[in-house]
Amino acid sequence: MVEQWFRDNGDNTLRVNYPLSEDSIVFDLGGYKGEWTNKIYQKYKCNVSIFEPIPFLVDEINSKFSGIEKIKTYRFGLSNETKKMIIFLSDDGSSFNTNYDSDKIECDVVSISDFIKDNNIEKIDLIKINIEGDEYAVLNNLLDNKLINIFTDIQVQFHSFIDNSDQKRKLIQDRLSETHELTYNYDFVWENWKKR
């Protein structure tokens, strides 16, 4: 019930209502087909970096945003380390963390902390994280490397199919609460953390 309400309402309100401007920097982790980026860009004309490891989705995103210089697509995902991973394909549920009886491909992922440091990034206004279970690795990497403070807003979808997901989520929430405050929360649907 809550999930359906959020899909009907939150995707067009809470998930896109932020104090952004044309100068804002936004990261979209798990770009899929670019729908969320499209809403954010249409509303704010901000700078968006999309990270999507599935090649044919990257091609679709690039086609959708062709000619828009403020939207940059990377052909890799962001995770806790740089490596090649097998992703199991299942439409918008494709994941490194499941074992679907489906097609699978090898993809590249890059350490998010290394990416931030290598590109001298000092501030990101909003990060959207919808990466089918790898959000735990990404957020712990940012927390462990003391980089969580560069993010003003952190919009994340935690996934419950991960072992001990409740415990892992609670540990991350406890750590996030030291620097950020929870502005909305729909358990294992979407939640947002704003820098204090």
Tell me what pLDDT residue 14 has: 93
Whole-model pTM: value is 0.90
> For residues 34 and 65, is the Cβ–Cβ distance under 8 A?
yes
CA 114 from centre of chain: 16
Span 42-66, mean pLDDT?
A: 96
Band of residue 8 on the pLDDT scale cut at 50, 70, 90? low
Tell me what pLDDT residue 69 has: 98
Q: Considering the chain, what is the average pLDDT of its residues?
A: 91
Determine the Cα–Cα distance for residues 127 and 88; give it in Å rounded to an integer: 24
Which tens digit of pLDDT belongs to each residue from 167-184?
Answer: 999 999 999 999 999 999
Tell me what pLDDT residue 86 has: 83
Band of residue 133 on the pLDDT scale cut at 50, 70, 90? confident
Band of residue 10 on the pLDDT scale cut at 50, 70, 90? low
Q: What is the set of domains in the chain, with CATH numbers?
A: 20-195 (3.40.50.150)
Tell me what pLDDT residue 2 has: 53
Band of residue 112 on the pLDDT scale cut at 50, 70, 90? very high
Tell me, letter by letter, the H, E, C secondary structure of 16-65. CCCCCCCCCEEEEECCCCCHHHHHHHHHHCCEEEEECCCHHHHHHHHHHC
Tell me what pLDDT residue 173 has: 98
Expressed in angstroms, the distance from the first to the final Cα of the chain is 31
Span 140-169, mean pLDDT?
A: 96
pLDDT over 60 (residue 132): yes
Span 30-51, mean pLDDT?
A: 97
pLDDT over 70 (residue 92): no
Determine the Cα–Cα distance for residues 75 and 139; give it in Å rounded to an integer: 20
